[in-house]
């Protein structure tokens, strides 16, 4: 079960990031930004659900690797659109 917990968590990252950054990647819902963001969130939900089923809330404190990955993913969920707007601006010629 630990394999699937990690698999779903790490699969959430590229789909959510590339969906936010408007790149084309195939997901279970097809191509497209919204489809990839939705698929990333679904993978995130599967991962957190499996983790809670196996370890419970107290398991988060004792599993540093999962907690670190979860923290990075949540920070990107919060700031991803903002970061896209900053880094996708036309910089012009220097």
27 DSSP β-pair partners: 30
Which residue carries 């969920």 as its tokens? 77
Q: Are 29 and 16 in contact (CB under 8 A)?
A: no
Q: How far apart are CA 31 and CA 5, in angstroms?
A: 24
Where in the chain are the domains?
A: 2-87
Q: How far apart are CA 85 and CA 82, in angstroms?
A: 5
Structure tokens at 35: 């489809």
pLDDT per residue as tens digits for the range 10-68: 999 889 888 888 888 888 888 888 899 899 999 999 999 999 999 988 888 888 888 88
Q: Are 9 and 41 in contact (CB under 8 A)?
A: no
Q: What is the pTM of this model?
A: 0.78
């Amino acid at each position: 079960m630990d394999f699937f917990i990690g698999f779903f968590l790490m699969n959430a990252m590229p789909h959510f990031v590339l969906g936010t950054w408007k790149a084309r990647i195939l997901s279970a819902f097809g191509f497209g930004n919204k489809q990839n963001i939705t698929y990333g969130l679904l993978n995130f939900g599967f991962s957190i659900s499996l983790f809670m089923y196996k370890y419970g809330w107290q398991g988060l404190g004792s599993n540093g690797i999962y907690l670190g990955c979860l923290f990075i993913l949540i920070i990107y969920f919060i700031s991803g659109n903002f970061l896209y707007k900053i880094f996708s601006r036309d910089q012009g010629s220097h």
